[in-house]
Chains A and B, each alone.
Chain A
């Protein structure tokens, strides 16, 4: 048995860095991902995508493909089984019908036993298109005289967005005249004009962030099977098995008892793997009554998954000479692609939610274009807005001769301060994150850094509010005295390791006695999607409650043979003892046997925890970058990088630091290299990982993670949301460092060499 000692705040297991419990499978290649699975008689699906960004489909002729040897079926919209259609919901438009809305939109699928045969047959499908005007730029799309991106929509389904962030604000849907603007929202406070009147400096600008892709290394992968009893089984790489179950049941009119969604190991999700291709694969399996596997190619995934939106932020902000922020006015334009669903709410809320400011005027617009529709990427919609406000704050501080850290500390929000929606913040740690970065080596040594040519240091604040969704968990005592935690939440970040830690803590046993696993939707207790940073925060509470209940049950069983009242007992290391009497004890293994064996007298130990969380625990981050800019080539090199983040309480500091570093690296990708580039016809120019530039080891120095702990009110042990805030501050921090290095500002991310040279007047 491993040696464990009491660590922080009297805790034994939580708060201690522990390696992931699923590590061995992953380092040996034994962990099964969806594409590693083969089912009997399984067919492979390949999908034909639209060649045009906007066109009418005149005809589809699949005769030659159907006759191709080895092809089992070719399916277009005409051959699909009955299902509920919703033109506003990308997932419920399986294949384009009549009109294609973006390049790569699925038009048909070929099924064959050999994936190469299916691929060959795609080329034999003849689709005749009648091209329509494609609208690609969101600002152009907003103009009165712009062609329409698509036929007008009725009601808009926004269910998935709500899983990521919970805000008590409803969007106004665009009403009246048909337009490409599919949603609007506005927040006002005070009098913006009066606020600008009070200011000693006012800055104004426009900031643009490119469309970027989540770029999980594992591609979208799904297998479905539909049996003669009318039961549907789906194995898929998803963050949200119950969401898929519910959506499939709704679309296919099946009861939720008849659909088993098994969340396979997720090879990276970052918000992009909730629900996308599962309905298509299920429909194909229903047609052929055989298992069907569909693995997107990297090209398809880049062209036709759900990337993060392009956003344009026009912003004006004013500050007094003493650093008091007097007014923020902003228009945020989110390009949602061909279907509504851009995450503009959190962007608008946080743009006006980092600082106390008496006068706000924030307007958000969701605008459709003929590009792939967008989805969530880690704190969706927020890094884009933060890039603008955190650049503007820096500009104001510089113009007023104020220290940028001091200017932020003067205005930063604290508990009780209102969001733009009026909702007050619960306890938060934004100030503590600023102070932590103020103490970091990079920030303290910035005057030394600046002595080197073309080198600069910048910082930025970021945050994320977090989602809320009820969840449940069970904790069981096995016959041999070990503990099993069962949840329905997909483990994408090491949450099952943290759940095992929580159960071990509550039952006072070493971690080695506990395992935690995710079940499928037919066997596991319900959990919300593993998104919105809420899994440990909410499901962790359910695990804690379940473990507490299991503890009571164990003590109740032990009380009888030990001839003591439950409150006279204590437990440690898998042994229940009468307090003050070492002689009288009972092991968990004995209690396990007494409650599971043939003719056992006691009912099995199974604790249940159910939670409906109502209060968020927002997470803030402050990040600082030291960069060097080559004035000849325009190349920006990140020399050093640090992230401070308030995590409330780090249940597993190893995985928490990993989340912080990973999210920060994604922010650096947004800042410096990632951009989905489209030509004038709406075709993606870089649908591969050579031309779509993810950060490599050569781009990223080690990232220093500074864990800040301001306990949340409701999270387990004070834990708050962790996964998402880490991406938010990077683009602004890098932009501020670049401005510090070259004395001029780049207003568009990624900050490519070309954009640097343009800013320097050399292009």
Chain B
């Protein structure tokens, strides 16, 4: 299949990348740009481990084709702590014990960021609603709720 050259803006950097039209944004970012923080846990949009923000919207990048992301700003977990300082959500996940195996963590943090971007002081019920697209098998979510609520307090 013929590759096509597309331009992706990821975490503020512009990349010219040759992709096959069926490549997903997730595999392009992981395999071509070698930003491997976003994970594949299912490939069918059910687990949320590949969650990124594209044009300010939360997406499961395993279901988006790479060419569809052209012209939009893509934010991955690697874009959250660019200057060496952890984002308050990242710090809260560590402090609250919201990280165990770490595989869902990048996607979970992106979902938390999208939630806090639109609602800086969520209730517990709103946190549960905001993270419903992201599966975690280790924590039972309790410490993730605590992390997101703590991050909301720190940022507001």
- Bitwise, B97-135 to A at CB < 8 A (1) or not (0) is 101111111100100000000000000100111011011
C-alpha spacing A19/B145, complex, angstroms: 16
C-alpha spacing A688/B99, complex, angstroms: 24
- Bitwise, B71-111 to A at CB < 8 A (1) or not (0) is 00000111011000010001101110101111111100100
By the criterion CB–CB under 8 Å, are A696 and B94 in contact? no
Task: Kindly provide the distance from the CB of A644 to the nearest chain B CB, expressed in whole angstroms.
Answer: 15
Task: Kindly provide the distance from the CB of A361 to the nearest chain B CB, expressed in whole angstroms.
Answer: 37
Among the listed A19, A655, A697, which residue makes an inter-chain contact with B132, where contact means beta carbons less than 8 Å apart?
A: A697
Whether, in the assembled complex, A662 has its beta carbon less than 8 Å from a beta carbon of chain B, the answer is yes
Which residues of chain B come closer than 8 Å to A267, judged between CB atoms?
A: 39, 41, 101-103
Task: Kindly provide the distance from the CB of B46 to the nearest chain A CB, expressed in whole angstroms.
Answer: 4
Which A residues lie at the B interface, using CB under 8 A?
17, 19-20, 22-33, 35-36, 116, 214-219, 265-270, 297-298, 492-494, 654-655, 657-658, 661-666, 668, 688-690, 694-698, 700, 702-703, 705
By the criterion CB–CB under 8 Å, are A218 and B41 in contact? yes
By the criterion CB–CB under 8 Å, are B132 and A698 in contact? yes
Known: A29-B78, A217-B104. A298 touches B141 (CB 8 A): no
Closest to A689 in B: B46
Known: A654-B97, A657-B97. A662 touches B139 (CB 8 A): yes
20 contacts between A and B (CB under 8 A): A19-B94, A23-B99, A26-B99, A27-B93, A27-B94, A29-B76, A217-B41, A217-B104, A218-B41, A298-B41, A492-B101, A655-B97, A662-B137, A664-B140, A665-B140, A666-B140, A689-B46, A697-B141, A702-B124, A702-B146
By the criterion CB–CB under 8 Å, are B39 and A218 in contact? yes
Which residues of chain B come closer than 8 Å to A22, judged between CB atoms?
A: 102
Task: Kindly provide the distance from the CB of B54 to the nearest chain A CB, expressed in whole angstroms.
Answer: 17
By the criterion CB–CB under 8 Å, are B94 and A28 in contact? no
Which B residues lie at the A interface, using CB under 8 A?
20, 22, 30, 35-44, 46-47, 49, 76-78, 80-81, 86, 90-91, 93-95, 97, 99-106, 109, 124, 127-129, 131-132, 134-146
Among the listed A662, A688, A695, which residue makes an inter-chain contact with B100, where contact means beta carbons less than 8 Å apart?
A: A662
Task: Kindly provide the distance from the CB of B113 to the nearest chain A CB, expressed in whole angstroms.
Answer: 12
List the 4 shortest-distance A-B pairs measured between CB atoms, nearest first: A29-B37, A665-B140, A267-B103, A26-B102
Task: Kindly provide the distance from the CB of A357 to the nearest chain B CB, expressed in whole angstroms.
Answer: 32
Q: Could you say which of A22, A267, A492 has the most chain B C-beta atoms within 10 Å of its C-beta?
A: A267
Q: Could you say which of B22, B35, B37, B93 has the most chain A C-beta atoms within 10 Å of its C-beta?
A: B37
C-alpha spacing A270/B104, complex, angstroms: 15
Known: A20-B99, A698-B128, A702-B124. A27 touches B109 (CB 8 A): yes
- Secondary structure at the A interface, as helix, strand, loop or mixed, is loop
Which residues of chain A come closer than 8 Å to B40, judged between CB atoms?
A: 35, 219
By the criterion CB–CB under 8 Å, are A30 and B37 in contact? yes
C-alpha spacing A311/B41, complex, angstroms: 28
Apart from A268-B101, A661-B143, A662-B140, what are 17 other A-B pairs with CB-CB below 8 Å? Answer: A25-B102, A27-B90, A27-B106, A28-B80, A29-B35, A29-B76, A35-B39, A216-B103, A265-B102, A266-B101, A267-B101, A268-B138, A298-B43, A298-B44, A688-B42, A690-B46, A696-B135
Q: Could you say which of B22, B30, B36, B127 has the most chain A C-beta atoms within 10 Å of its C-beta?
A: B36
Closest to A26 in B: B102
By the criterion CB–CB under 8 Å, are B77 and A29 in contact? yes
Among the listed A27, A32, A217, A690, which residue makes an inter-chain contact with B137, where contact means beta carbons less than 8 Å apart?
A: A217
Which residues of chain B come closer than 8 Å to A217, judged between CB atoms?
A: 39, 41, 47, 49, 101, 103-104, 135-137
By the criterion CB–CB under 8 Å, are B141 and A700 in contact? yes
Task: Kindly provide the distance from the CB of A376 to the nearest chain B CB, expressed in whole angstroms.
Answer: 15
Which residues of chain A come closer than 8 Å to B134, judged between CB atoms?
A: 697
Known: A217-B47, A697-B131. A24 touches B94 (CB 8 A): yes
Known: A696-B132, A703-B140. A19 touches B97 (CB 8 A): yes
Among the listed A662, A690, A702, which residue makes an inter-chain contact with B138, where contact means beta carbons less than 8 Å apart?
A: A662
Task: Kindly provide the distance from the CB of A481 to the nearest chain B CB, expressed in whole angstroms.
Answer: 25
Which residues of chain A come closer than 8 Å to B103, judged between CB atoms?
A: 33, 216-218, 267-268
Closest to A663 in B: B140
